[in-house]
Amino acid sequence: MSSDEKNLIEILEEGHKVDIVKYIDYVSAPQAGAIATFSGTTRDMFEGKAVLELRYEAYVPMATRTLTSICTSARSNWDIHKIAVAHRLGPVPVGETSVFIAVSSVHRGDGLDACKFLIDELKATVPIWKKEVYTNGEIWKENSEFLEKRDGLVKKEHKRSCCGSKVRVQEDEEEHKDNSS
């Protein structure tokens, strides 16, 4: 089996929930003694503010391409069998899953480490954006992983976070935010 056939990468259209059973089934194999998973879900609070939902959008072709590249990197670093990555677009209410990663491996060490790598790299490099919607406003989030790694993506200088401060939240002061799930 080529490595392409062992990776399942899906960017789900708005309204499609993440079916985690499907992805766990995909990575399962008799020879894999471990399945490591990560599920990112919408939290109800961020810094004391009540979150209604997250809204996701993506540069889909590039996101798919970047995820494929991340899977290839993971395979070169760890001995893993299959990978499944799914990211949902559109509104994701509190408690629901926006991103799901499943990795199968013979031994758990490789699977767990690869799983962590995959979500860390996703947050640092994959062109997907989320808007956090509160009762009194909304704000584009910025991943700290991206801000730290940005100079490694392109050879640029003096990059900094800025979009998070540019959306007005009614009644609150403007803030710029980092996000981690």
Q: Is there binding between residue 134 and other proteins (CB under 8 A)?
A: no
Among 1, 158, 170, 171, binds other proteins (CB under 8 A): 158
Q: Is there binding between residue 125 and other proteins (CB under 8 A)?
A: yes
Among 30, 31, 95, 154, binds other proteins (CB under 8 A): 154
Q: Which residues of 95-131 are buried (b: 16+ CB within 10 A; e: fewer)?
A: eebbbbbbbbbeeeebbbbbbebbbebbbbbbebebe
Q: How far is the CB of 124 from other proteins (least distance, A)?
A: 8
What's the Rg (C-alpha) of the chain? 17
CA distance 103 to 35: 6
Q: How far is the CB of 148 from other proteins (least distance, A)?
A: 11
Nearest alpha carbon to residue 15 among 44, 52, 45, 56: 56
Among 98, 104, 110, 114, binds other proteins (CB under 8 A): 98
Q: Is there binding between residue 82 and other proteins (CB under 8 A)?
A: no
Q: How far is the CB of 73 from other proteins (least distance, A)?
A: 15
Within residues 18-47, the interface with other proteins by CB under 8 A covers: 40
Integer CA distances (angstroms), 51 to 65, 94, 110, 167, 172, in order: 31, 7, 35, 16, 14
Tell me the β-bridge partners of 97.
Answer: 41
CA distance 35 to 32: 7
Within residues 47-66, the interface with other proteins by CB under 8 A covers: 56-59, 61-63, 65
- CB closer to other proteins, 32 vs 41: 41
Q: What is the DSSP letter of 165?
A: G
Q: Is there binding between residue 73 and other proteins (CB under 8 A)?
A: no
- CB closer to other proteins, 78 vs 100: 100
Q: Is there binding between residue 142 and other proteins (CB under 8 A)?
A: yes
Among 37, 73, 146, 169, binds other proteins (CB under 8 A): 146
CA distance 127 to 48: 28
Q: Is there binding between residue 68 and other proteins (CB under 8 A)?
A: no
